[in-house]
Structure 1
């Protein structure tokens, strides 16, 4: 990469990261724990923290490490919220920080939360993790978000502690979620499944939910050595999903919030996560090089959604399980931490491919 482009990329990454820390949203919060401010401990903040951690891992800048440890130290002093699928998300970065700093306090908290995920977190049929969140038990429901929000943390902790039971549980969760959420017609994932009513709710092929698998799987495979048979199944699901995504990408390079409905709005956070996951999958050899062109097209489309201040536009607010497809079309659009953070991940992956901000 040319030195001048490297400086431009670094400047863009810094702008996006700075806005992540100070986001304000015009949308009235409906979640029990606010999902916009980085002062809170919830899943959007967790995704943002992991993006910053990966940028730290790439650059080894001490200030980034300090910002992360300061955030967690402050949260631990304040006291953590009740454990559930979504509040588990920041723990992935905390276990990575333990690996980096060897802070025993971090390890104690990670052990406690991992044991809860393993033995106490509510389960559905086939022992799938029930998608319990702040303010809602969601009995009998599994959602495609869960793999990213909880299972990645359990995996990383299992590897770090040499706890094979955690790793085997992560395998089971990936496989059972694929079993019940895969749309066999397209290879995409439905947003959710209910074991109590035996259906896929609105049968929504929701973009951001699908992108959690695309982005999460490439990080999952980087964390853990899997049996070849299991790895083949997971990568097969990724390639089927990627085949469908190429057919549904719009002319600008974006994906719509309902992937198979071009009348629903194009959504930036999902497009960024798809770009990140597909680019990394190509680099790692998980997908053929033929997928790179569409990935780069998405990468450039997302760049056009970053304003001069570094705020990522075109991001949908937090999305619960919809009983109708119209509910997804009606989700408001506003700046969100996961929009900033998925773009951060995408930009950092772009460095690995020597992509330039200006073609």
Structure 2
């Protein structure tokens, strides 16, 4: 009897340890990834378009739309897939004027959306549209500026500007183009571009200034770098000559981000400024990068999974009754002023925040 008792006790202990280490399951109701993802996907479908000066869909909406597609595809929610596709169908006719012109890094990232829809539906229209955006990032326009020509001549995108936001805008559309066509040129482009940004912009503490002439570690700006590296590492073949360099940049950032976690288990508007306020969009991007890193074995589970879990739980507490993420910094251009970043308004339901919460939801479910 004693042997049976000891065996049962041992099995219970092993099961308890396994459950304790299974950081990405057993969430409370308000933080269940499937529930949160469905609510935010439906919230997106209720939302109006966000436009650039009343013309062309804004990249923040694209990011949210893309996140919703990834989520409903993973959960096989055919009804929501249909609704998200119906929203896009209007862009082929009565809303075609809302298609962003492929003239800037922010507008070109729109291409990830039709490319993802093509992977779901096989509809050739989506492929043709998406590749237009992916390819035009490397096709120098006739009226290009001198600086754009210089980048193009070096083999980089003419849209290069060394703003940290770019490293999601470029990598996501190029990665989707590669995944669909199998053409390695798309990954080569994105990987070479990422290494340029890492070499030029990453500091020894793993973080990035908003821009070379703006010496502040802005949360969402660094978030774009974090998720850009994450998407590249996920999609780039590991025998690619740039893989190790990108992985090292990613690991350096993730290791140092742990040092700046605030009392909420999240990160501040200015990451290294303890007097700054908790900002949720950048925090969600960091959480996403860590979740995917743990899932794929790039990060130590025991070290990073508790950080990612705590961040997710805290972020879910910032979602209000309308299914809007609160404490999201509004769209922010660069400025060489600490006070400028501290004074930026924070709002609820902004697509800059809705998007990375959806990314986290599908990353947690993607075993």
TM-score range, shorter chain: 0.7 to 0.9
Once the two structures are superposed, the pairs formed by residues 278-289 of structure 1 within 5 Å of their partners are 278-289=290-301
Describe the superposition over 1:2-38 as per-residue Cα deviations: whole angstroms up to 9, x where unpaired.
699599543333222233334589xxx995258xxxx
Match of 2:271 among 259, 266, 271: 259
How far 1:85 moved relative to its partner? 1.0
**What do residues 209-256 of structure 1 show as CA deviations (whole Å, max 9, x unaligned)?**
111222232222323314354211111111111111100111211101
Q: Deviation per CA, 1:242-286: give whole Å up to 9, x if none.
A: 111100111211101111112122100111111111011011001
Superposition deviation, residue 320 in structure 1: 0.9
Q: Of the candidates 213, 226, 233, which is equivalent to residue 214 of structure 1?
A: 226
Q: 1:120–1:9: structure 2 CA closer, same or farther, 3 Å change rule?
A: same
Q: Is the 8 A contact 1:268 1:314 kept in 2?
A: yes
Range with bigger deviation, 298-307 or 150-159: 150-159
What secondary structure does 1:118 align onto? coil
Question: In the alignment, which residue of structure 2 is the partner of 1:176?
Answer: 196
Q: Structure 1 pair 22/317, CA: closer, same or farther in 2 (3 Å)?
A: farther
**SS of equivalent residue, structure 2 residue 221:** helix
The answer to whether the Cα contact below 8 Å between 1:20 and 1:341 also exists between their aligned partners in 2 is no
Q: What SS class does the counterpart of residue 109 from structure 2 fall into?
A: coil
Aligned to 2:359: 345
Provide the C-alpha distance between the structure 2 equivalents of 1:306 and 1:330, rounded to a whole number of angstroms: 22
Please list the CA deviations of residues 130-174 of structure 1 after superposition, one character each: whole Å capped at 9, or x if unmatched.
65xxxxxxxx83211112112221232134223332221111111
Q: TM (normalized to structure 1)?
A: 0.83
Give the alignment partner of residue 207 of structure 2, picking from 164, 172, 188: 188
**Is contact 2:171-2:228 (8 Å) kept?**
no
Summarize the Cα distance change of 1:304–1:268 in structure 2 as closer, same or farther, 3 Å threshold.
Answer: same
What residue in structure 2 maps to residue 294 of structure 1? Answer: 307
Counterpart of 1:249 (choices 254, 261, 264) is 261
CA distance in structure 1 between the aligned counterparts of 2:51 and 2:358, rounded to whole angstroms: 26
Change (3 A) 1:274 1:313: same
Distance 1:24 1:105 in 2: 24
The partner residue of 1:101 within 121, 125, 134 is: 121
Answer whether contact 1:49 1:90 (CA < 8 A) is retained: no
Indicate whether 1:112 and 2:132 are aligned.
Answer: yes
1:68 aligns with 2:84: yes
CA distance 1:55–1:119, shift in 2 (3 Å): same
Displacement after TM superposition at 1:296 (Å) = 1.4
C-alpha separation in 2, matches of 1:181 and 1:291? 24
Change (3 A) 1:2 1:178: closer
2:186 is aligned, of 154, 160, 166, to 166
Establish whether residue 82 from structure 1 lines up as the match of residue 101 from structure 2.
yes
Residues 143 and 293 (structure 1 numbering): CA distance in 2 closer, same or farther, change over 3 Å? same
The alpha-carbon distance between structure 1 residues 127 and 228, as it changes in their structure 2 partners (threshold 3 A), is closer
User: For structure 2, which runs of at least 5 residues remain unmatched after alignment?
Assistant: 1-24
CA contact (8 A) 2:319 2:326 kept: yes
| Structure 2 residue matching 1:119: 3-state secondary structure | coil
Tell me, which stretches of 5 or more residues in structure 1 are unaligned?
35-39, 132-139, 193-199, 354-359
Partner of 2:71: 55
Mapped partners of 2:31, 2:214: distance in 1: 45
Structure scoring higher RCO (CA < 8 A, sep ≥ 6) equals: 1
Contact 1:33 1:42 in 2 (8 A): no
> Per the alignment, in what secondary structure is the counterpart of residue 242 of structure 2?
helix
* Distance (whole Å) between structure 2 residues aligned to residue 74 and residue 342 of structure 1: 25
Residue 312 (structure 1) aligned to one of 320, 325, 348: 325
Task: Give the direction of change, closer, same or farther, for the CA distance of 1:163–1:319 in structure 2 (3 Å limit).
Answer: same
How many corresponding residue pairs? Answer: 329
Conserved 8 A contact 1:49-1:93 = yes
Superposed CA RMSD: 2.7
Find the structure with the greater CA-based Rg. 2
In 1, Cα distance between the equivalents of 2:57 and 2:200? 29
Q: Which residue of 1 aligns with 2:53?
A: 32
